[in-house]
Amino acid sequence: MASTIATQSDLNNLATRVGTLEKKTSLTRIPLDLDAVIVTVTTSPTANAITPVPHALKRVPAGYIVVRKQNGTGDVYEPVACPAWSSTQIFLACAGTAVRLTLLLF
């Protein structure tokens, strides 16, 4: 069995590959003091209709993340012609009908 001795160039190439892999697989940490609320709402029984989503964030949310969909499927989105978001509610629509959503508002 022949043995191979790694050169410095081989070791540098390996280190570069491992570093690239680490950058691609690194996790983004979310701070524990995230100013957010979790809300659950059932969308309209009519597909693509505007659904008000009340919340207790006490400010206008910057955005939302869909955490869970139950009782149906469909894209959740902010319709073009919807009321402005406020410190007490936002407005979303869903391509599905009567979908129970769990949302993270932040």
Mean pLDDT of the chain: 84
pLDDT in tens, 91-100: 999 999 999 9
pLDDT confidence of 31, banded at 50, 70, 90? low
pLDDT at 21: 47
Q: Is the pTM of this model over 0.85?
A: no
Q: Which among 76, 80, 79 has a CA at the least distance from the CA of 96?
A: 76
CA distance 89 to 55: 5
pLDDT at 9: 73
